[in-house]
Structure 1
Amino acid sequence: MGIPMDAAALLGLFLETLLYGVFLTLYWFTLVILLKKTGIQRQLLLPMATLLLCIATAHLILDFVRALESFVFKVDTIGASDYYSNFGSPLFVASTALCIMQTILADAIVVWRCYVLNDRSLLVAIPGCIMLLASVATGYYGVGSLSRARLLSTVTPADYGCIATFDALTMVLSVTSTILNAWRIYRTRCFMPEGFAAFLPVFVVVIESGAFYSTSILMLLLTFFIGSNAQYTMLDIIPPIVGITFCLIILQVHFDIGGNSPAEMPTEARGTTV
């Protein structure tokens, strides 16, 4: 038996709150580290981490408001399941738009990190940017289509195809970038005198961060294809997961490498911090 819409929303809110607490804790650790840095590590990473936190916070607030409306304020006029099935609700549209924005920011970080790590190659940047633009177009077109459909029963196959395309593009971007980054580190470091072991921590960070984010997107894609309402639970937890992944990359590289300054860190290590 499938999970009801209201149960999926409550589960999503619970998990989102839990993961948001993890993200907030990691953000403060990251903030302390980045405030001691100079150059791009402070000028770019600090605003990006703060922006991710702001989006995740706004998304969590919207989900709390939706829960209050469905289970408290409008409980006598509309059922909770029917409330969450109304895709035309301004709160649903805003919440979904924030989730897509957070996902696009994560994809942009992935593309930029892959571009830097691969010697700023246009062969990496151009396909990545094309896929990123396609994600923006399909993502927000999908939100608009859902808001016009209003009810789950009136969602057209074209709308489903648009949503599936967005999820698939995000999945492909994450997996491809992770593979390219790992291969670049392996090819560059394994034949050097100090050996690959000296750079193993960075290699592990690249794999772990990519796997964590890719797994969450894969779960979203699978729940979407099987038609489970658990996809809405996954939508709720994507924003904090993006922030957690971003902060973990910075923290892991900092502690594994020993907190070297940007001038002392190899080019590949600097690339993996973003």
Structure 2
Amino acid sequence: MALQQYPLVKTFIVAAWLEAILYGIYFCGFWVGVYLNIRMKWANNQNRIINLTSIIMFIVATLHVSMNGFRAIVGYVDYGSAPGGPVSFLGVISTWHHIFKDDLYACQSILGDAMALPRSTVSGIAITVLFGSVNPNASIFDPRLAHWITIFYSVAVAQNIITTGLMALRLWTMEKQSARIRVGGSIFMPLLLILVESAALYLFVQVLLLVLYAVNYNAQFILLESITPVVGITFGMIALRLILRSQRVPLSDDQATVGHIALRRIAVNVTTQMEHDIPGDKLAPV
């Protein structure tokens, strides 16, 4: 039984609506992060990179939702009574505004998948170049586009699984190694949970998007437009939780540490140890 297509005229408006909701969530989370950064002075060299990436992602997501707002207004107001209706405007993939908003999507995905930067960049550039060269009446499922789009989605999914898995494995290994020498609770397991929980939403949307595109279902447009704010939400959740995690109760002055790991103290009776190591008749009188 063939899958009944979701009408494009509904798809485009639902996609814009869902992105607006997700962007609203992202907007609130981003400014909470900015406030905590300023209040907690979380601005060493490592964290400046995270902060800069967060700002770039926020700008990209803002431009993307603005472009889709512009497209929705023009499509459903100016083209509402035109032949073909809103789809005659929103469904044309070779227009500058469609290419620009998909460039923003590709940029956001590349930022989120930085470990796969070379492969993702090639696929993303190829897609946007082809958008400008295909027939104006072509769809997103055109054979010329399908190959590169499938590669882009597949690389994003595979990279997310591989890098998240490798980072989780590294944190798990460090947890096992530190368990023998630290006191108090684990510091690596909470980081592992932050990583896995925050990446789960992004991975779920990526996998579902790939499946919907593979079966040529129009509802993939809805998830496609939601990816940009979802990437920002995912990255923002990790950064925000790391900020809060860094504000732990400080250790006492006499507690030995390596980095942020509190070490077990080993008490040694020096006199007893010397008597054990040196025969009694060779001990010098005090």
- Regarding TM over 0.5, the answer is yes
Aligned in 2, Cα 1:153/1:216: closer, same or farther, shift over 3 Å? closer
Alignment partner, residue 119 of structure 2: 134
The count of residues paired between Structure 1 and Structure 2 equals 244
Instruction: Assess if the C-alpha contact under 8 Å between 2:171 and 2:189 holds in 1.
Output: no
Of 142, 146, 159 in structure 2, the residue corresponding to residue 160 of structure 1 is: 146
Give the C-alpha shift of residue 83 in structure 1: 2.1
Query: Hey, what's the Cα distance between the residues in 1 that align with 2:154 and 2:163?
Result: 14
Alignment partner, residue 227 of structure 2: 238
Amino acid at match of 1:60: V
Amino acid at match of 2:205: S
* Structure whose residues are more often helix by fraction: 1
Alignment partner, residue 20 of structure 2: 17
Q: With a CA cutoff of 8 Å and minimum separation of 6, indicate the structure with the bigger relative contact order.
A: 1
Partner SS, residue 228 of structure 1:
coil
2:91 equivalent to 1:85: yes
Give the C-alpha shift of residue 46 in structure 1: 1.8
Q: How does 1:246-257 map to 2 (within 5 A)?
A: 246-257=235-246
2:128 equivalent to 1:143: yes
Give the C-alpha shift of residue 147 in structure 1: 2.9
The 4+ residue runs of structure 1 with deviation greater than 3 A are: 152-156, 194-198, 256-261, 263-266
Give the C-alpha shift of residue 211 in structure 1: 1.7
Query: Hey, what's the Cα distance between the residues in 1 that align with 2:15 and 2:45?
Result: 35
Query: Hey, what's the Cα distance between the residues in 2 that align with 1:198 and 1:154?
Result: 46
> Deviations 1:185-244 (Å, cap 9, x if unpaired)?
111112422488443211101111222211111111111001111111111111111111
Q: Structure 1 unaligned runs (5+)?
A: 112-130, 267-274
Alignment partner, residue 109 of structure 2: 103
Instruction: Assess if the C-alpha contact under 8 Å between 1:93 and 1:147 holds in 2.
Output: yes
Identity %: 22
Of 37, 41, 56 in structure 1, the residue corresponding to residue 42 of structure 2 is: 37
Query: Hey, what's the Cα distance between the residues in 2 that align with 1:48 and 1:59?
Result: 16
Instruction: Assess if the C-alpha contact under 8 Å between 1:4 and 1:81 holds in 2.
Output: no
Give the C-alpha shift of residue 146 in structure 1: 2.6
Query: Hey, what's the Cα distance between the residues in 2 that align with 1:154 and 1:28?
Result: 35
More deviation in 154-163 or 91-100? 154-163
Instruction: Assess if the C-alpha contact under 8 Å between 1:11 and 1:233 holds in 2.
Output: yes
Alignment partner, residue 52 of structure 2: 47
Aligned in 2, Cα 1:198/1:52: closer, same or farther, shift over 3 Å? closer
Instruction: Assess if the C-alpha contact under 8 Å between 1:17 and 1:60 holds in 2.
Output: yes
2:155 equivalent to 1:169: yes
Alignment partner, residue 203 of structure 1: 192
Query: Hey, what's the Cα distance between the residues in 2 that align with 1:12 and 1:156?
Result: 21
Q: Structure 2 unaligned runs (5+)?
A: 251-257, 262-286
